[in-house]
Amino acid sequence: MQRITNITETPKQEMSVILDDGSVLILRLYYISSQIGWFFDIEYAGIRSNCRRLTNSPNIIRDKINVFPFGIGCTVTDGQEPWFVDDFSKGRVNLYILSKEDVAQVEKEVYGKIF
């Protein structure tokens, strides 16, 4: 599990994340005040998934488990949702890239399924 540590309170951000196998994930985060929350786009190996709401979840992209060889976990210290523009800079919200093994563990422990 790789924590993404360079997220700020800037409402629009783009970063390249190097995965365990050396490939690159493009992550775009953006805060929409009228929706009171963070949203994200991801791009990997020419495949995109756009305009997804960031939620408190062990794997936010679980619906893409057969598309991407990684997962994205989001934790919120108070158990709520990522609502504030400064959630990352204040440490209230943390974002993680999950390896294939991490995804399998989440599937087993959280959802009771063997992946």
Residue-level pLDDT at 113: 79
Structure tokens at 28: 């775009």
Q: How far apart are CA 36 and CA 77, in angstroms?
A: 18
Sketch the domain layout of the chain as residue ranges: 2-111
Select from 11, 97, 12 the least CA-distant residue to 60: 97
Query: How many CB atoms sit inside 10 A of residue 59's CB?
Result: 21
Measured CA angle at 78 (ends 77, 84), to 5 deg: 85
List per-residue pLDDT tens for the chain, 115 residues long.
Answer: 999 999 999 999 999 999 999 999 999 999 999 999 999 999 999 999 999 999 999 999 999 999 999 999 999 999 999 999 999 999 999 999 999 999 999 999 998 977 6
pTM score of the predicted model: 0.94
Query: How many CB atoms sit inside 10 A of residue 6's CB?
Result: 8
Q: Is 16 exposed, middle or buried (0-12, 13-18, 19+ CB in 10 A)?
A: exposed
Q: How far apart are CA 4 and CA 94, in angstroms?
A: 7
Residue-level pLDDT at 115: 63
Residue-level pLDDT at 107: 94
Measured CA angle at 70 (ends 86, 91), to 5 deg: 20
